[in-house]
Homo-oligomer: A and B are copies of this chain.
Amino acid sequence: MLLPTSRDVIKAYDLIKPIVHCTPVLSSQAINQITGADVYFKCENFQKVGAFKYRGATNAVLSLTDEQKKNGVATHSSGNHAAALALAAANNGVMAYIVMPKNAPEIKKVAVAGYGAEITFCEPTLEAREQTLNAVIAKTGATLVHPYNQFEVICGQGTSSLELMQQVNSLDIVMTPVGGGGLLSGSATYLSEEFPEVKIIAAEPAMASDAYQSFKSGEFHSVVNPNTIADGLRTSLGDLTFEIIKSKVHEIYTVSEQSIVAAMRLIWERMKIIVEPSSAVPLAVLLENKAAFKHQKVGIILTGGNVDLEKLPFSSK
């Protein structure tokens, strides 16, 4: 298994830099006061397609050979990776074939179709998605771009931490959520070599704690359809992301659903920015573990801002 190095992340950044947004880093005095830490939020919710996933998808598309470009790219996803790959492909004149479960939100279907991708709908099971994807690839010769368990994707996601380190000096900690582990393993790859003094910490919903369990036991655990509100983190690690995370991440914390909603609400109310539940999981870790992070300078990747405004989790306190 070929593991990426920090040089690969730097190479990815050189490649995608002219195309991706350099997203801003924001702070909130109120949130610093509440957590007792000094927190810097890297706003990938302002990234194109509203999520860091655009970085990995763009790096994957730009890394194709000319021959591969002719046949297009393919993936199955109902979420941000589908939109990210569709737009990254469109921006580079490459065809994208996206397999989506037929019960995917209408707004996501419209977005992916709007970027000119060819959508194939299937039953909403992992089996059906993989079978359908295999059929699409057999027919088209398209190159698979996995949402997280792929070298180029991991390197692309890691550029968000690279950029963060250029924007903020001497962070003690960089914290990301962990679902499939693309962002976490890409960040850990870059930081462990370039900034060995920085602690790399992951945040995971307790209801989808496969990464935590795998990390603690050293053996691969998976979860199936966990019911966490953090819909971007319902997937399990892949073999490649797990291999990187095992050796390069310092700690994984799990948090309650209640803390995730409270953290999300804090970000909306105090920072006036829209983040999806997955983005709020690292702040939830700070809220649940104030003593551990007191006076620490913490960088947090806000992973995305794609929420259904008609189904928000805020109810009367």
Using a CB–CB cutoff of 8 Å, the interface residues on chain A facing chain B are 24, 45-46, 50, 265, 268-269, 271-275, 305, 309-310, 312, 314-316
Could you say which residues of chain B place their CB within 8 Å of the CB of A272?
A: 45-46, 50, 273-275, 305
Q: How far is the CB of A160 from chain B (nearest CB, A)?
A: 16
Select one of B24, B268, B273, B310 contacting A316, CB under 8 A.
B310
Alpha-carbon gap, A268 to B46, bound state (A):
11
- Decide if B274 touches A309 in the complex (CB within 8 Å): no
Residues B314 and A309 in contact, CB atoms below 8 Å apart: yes
Asked if residues B309 and A309 are in contact (CB atoms below 8 Å), the reply is no
Of all chain B residues, which has the CB nearest A315?
B310
Tell me which residues across on chain B come within 8 A of A315, comparing CB atoms. 310
Interface SS of A by simple majority: loop
Partner of A310, one of B46, B274, B314: B314
CB <8 Å contact, A309 and B312: yes
A45 nearest in chain B by CB position:
B272
Q: Is the CB of B45 within 8 A of A265?
A: no
Residue in A24, A310, A316 with the greatest tally of chain B CB atoms within 10 Å = A310
The interface residues of chain B lying within 8 Å CB-to-CB of A275 are 272
How far, in Å, is A91 (CB) from chain B's closest CB?
12
Closest residue of B by beta carbon distance from A106: B317
Task: Knowing that A24-B24, A268-B274, A310-B314 touch, tell me 11 more A-B residue pairs with CB under 8 angstroms.
Answer: A46-B271, A46-B272, A265-B309, A268-B309, A269-B309, A272-B275, A272-B305, A274-B274, A310-B315, A310-B316, A312-B312
10 pairs of A and B residues whose beta carbons are closest in the complex: A272-B305, A309-B314, A272-B274, A45-B272, A273-B273, A310-B314, A310-B316, A46-B272, A268-B274, A50-B272
Q: Across the two chains, which residue of chain B brings its CB closest to A269?
A: B309
**Residues in B neighbouring A268, C-beta threshold 8 A:** 274, 309
What would 17 A/B residue contacts be, using CB atoms closer than 8 Å? Answer: A24-B24, A46-B271, A46-B272, A50-B272, A265-B309, A268-B309, A269-B309, A272-B273, A272-B274, A272-B275, A272-B305, A273-B273, A273-B274, A310-B314, A310-B315, A310-B316, A312-B312
- Shortest beta-carbon distance from A231 to chain B in Å: 16
Q: What is the minimal beta-carbon distance from A270 to any residue of chain B, in angstroms?
A: 9
Q: Return A80 CB to nearest CB of chain B, in Å.
A: 13
Residue on B with the closest CB to A267?
B274
Closest beta carbon of chain B to A185's beta carbon, Å: 25
Q: Contacts of A265 on B, CB cut-off 8 Å? A: 309
| A309 CA to B270 CA, complexed, in Å | 12
* Whole-angstrom CA separation of A50 from B272 in the bound complex: 8
Q: Which residue of B lies closest to A270 (CB)?
A: B50
Complex CA–CA separation, A273 to B269 (angstroms)? 11
- Chain B residues within an 8 Å CB radius of A24: 24
Distance of A265 Cα from B309 Cα, bound (Å): 8
Closest to A314 in B: B309
Closest to A274 in B: B272
Closest chain B residue to A47, Cβ basis: B272
